[in-house]
Structure 1
Amino acid sequence: MAIEFPTRELILDTHSTPAPPNEYGDVFGRIGSLETRLARNSREIAAAQSVRYRVFVGEMKAMLPPVAMHLKRDFDSYDDICDHLLVIDNAIEGEIEEQIVGTYRLLRQEVAMANGGFYSASEFDIEPLIKRHPDKQFMELGRSCVLPEYRTKRTVQLLWQGNWAYSLRHGMGAMFGCASFPGIDPQEHALALSFLHQSSLVKDEWMVSAKTDLYRNMDLLALEEIDPRQALLAMPPLVKGYLRLGAMIGDGAVVDQAFNTTDVLIVLPIAVISGRYTNHFGTDFTRFAS
């Protein structure tokens, strides 16, 4: 699942700069006091899990396993095999636990296949999609999360800089992952879901759908009932950001009872990312591909 960032646009900030080389080689960019990089140790991963707990449980009323609720950390077995992208506010005094304000969980195909598969495969039928693209490596984006006071253009910008730089470094051919609508009644999001189904549905070699036993219809309104402008206004900002990058939407939604969300699958081939994003990120971050 993923929480949506309340920012109107996924706009590139011309004041963002790639970070200079560092001893770890994992810092992907900085804007002011904010920095995006990978988690370096188990302590930082635990701190990111605490941020996830604050958002998913504190705000969204997710129900996690008892041990997670007791420890006040959102965690599962995938945390041990994923890389964890962080946004850190260096202006906050104190330890790293207080400085992490946003996170993404990144899982490369080679790692997933060596450890039982992708997280999204619990909701969506991922395997046929991957088999149709033997020449591409896929990267899963998950557990996107930002603290309320940092849900700004700059934070989203840094998260995407990190995703892009990471994908270049590892030679990824496509990204995918779940994006979430709040609540477990798809009908409450009929306008937005219908618009996504009718305007951005995956097709041909990118076809992927929700698992049969979990499949919830997204095509809830007739075409003449859909006002595109109103549909976009009703859509979570992160989903709109994905669309601006050229993403497609999988066939069918899935209701996640534990996280109190309705999930759709985002599919984003690297080759179709729009030119303005490619030009910006490519110029600044090609150096991080090696």
Structure 2
Amino acid sequence: MRAMMLERKNNPVSGRALPATQRKDVPAGGVLGRIGRLEVRLARDAEEIAAAQEVRFRVFYDELGARRDAVTAVERRDSDRFDSVCDHLLVVDTAIHGPATQQIVGTYRLLRQESAIAAGGFYSDEEFELEALIARHPGRRFLELGRSCVLPAYRSKRTIELLWQGIYAYVGYYDIAVMTGCASFHGTVPAAHAEALSFLAQNCRADPEWDVRAVISRYHTMDLMPPEAVRSRSALAAMPPLIKGYLRLGARIGDGCVIDRDFGTTDVFIILPMEFVSERYLNYYGAEAERFNA
């Protein structure tokens, strides 16, 4: 099994992500950020990846009711074929006594374009026409974010900030130009989220250069209410924190939503070119990286 440690890669794809003065190299296997007793880093070996999969199982299956098959139910791990080609970002609580595998309280799965090519595509390809977007932007390196989850006791602003510190360092190291991925509303009835989905469709859609459409066989409209009936405040209040976080960073939303019956969710597509990220957040996470590495 491949150890999840960073090493410099030579690749012909040019990302045009962050200015060189803002990029920070990620130490191989090292800590990427720290707030109090919490640290963020990449999984270092197969055991830590398995532990992250167990955290995902506790959130997606035990808490949120995802559909489990016989193997998943026995192993109590959320896993698929992409795990072996992804890097796994971890938040660990160093105050928990025991081995490192028992300290993992949050995780994010990171799939770089080079690894996706080797795996036969991105995870999101099953729901959205990501390949068409990549074809429109040759020479730019894409990163798919997925399987984001945090244990209930750790769902706080500082945990999310730690995860984004880690992502910021990773993006700079690999010269990532565009972050993408699915983000989910709980439940398989889009109408149950009519106001929030309509707000996204009417106010947060990607322009044609960056647009991504749900695959036609799974397409459901997000524009479910007339604009005059959509109240911004209540629409935003009804959105999952992850989606609101992406919007604050500058992300745009693709065309249509998709129902994922295995996970019991309604998925929308996130597109975040690095040049869309506001200077405020670039400066903030850059300053945090400087402080940590000082």
Q: State the TM-score, normalizing by the size of structure 2.
A: 0.88
Partner amino acid, structure 2, of 1:279? N
Which has the higher mean CA deviation after the structures are superposed, 235-244 or 81-90? 235-244
Tell me what 1:242 maps to: 246
Does 2:197 correspond to 1:181? no
Tell me what 1:46 maps to: 50
Moved over 2 A (4+): 19-22, 282-288
CA-to-partner distance for each residue in 1:81-134, whole Å, 9 max, x for gaps? 000000000000012232000000000001101220100001001111001111
Does 2:120 correspond to 1:145? no
Alignment CA distance shift 1:52-1:114 (3 Å)? same
> Which runs of no fewer than 5 residues in structure 1 stay unpaired?
1-18
Tell me if structure 1 keeps the 8 A contact 2:144–2:181.
Answer: yes
1:285 to 283, 286, 289: 289
Does 2:66 correspond to 1:62? yes
2:98 to 71, 94, 97: 94
With a CA cutoff of 8 Å and minimum separation of 6, indicate the structure with the bigger relative contact order.
1
Alignment CA distance shift 1:116-1:286 (3 Å)? farther
Tell me what 1:198 maps to: 202
1:251 to 227, 252, 255: 255
* Residue aligned with 1:177, SS: strand
Does 2:36 correspond to 1:29? no
- RMSD over equivalenced CA pairs, Å: 1.8
Partner amino acid, structure 1, of 2:99? E
Partner amino acid, structure 2, of 1:147? L
Q: State the TM-score, normalizing by the size of structure 1.
A: 0.90
Distance 1:53 1:21 in 2: 28
> Which runs of no fewer than 5 residues in structure 2 stay unpaired?
1-23
1:271 to 271, 275, 279: 275
Which has the higher mean CA deviation after the structures are superposed, 91-100 or 40-49? 91-100
Count of aligned pairs between the two proteins: 269
- Aligned-residue identity in percent: 56
Distance 2:248 2:119 in 1: 32
Tell me if structure 2 keeps the 8 A contact 1:47–1:96.
Answer: no
1:230 to 225, 230, 234: 234
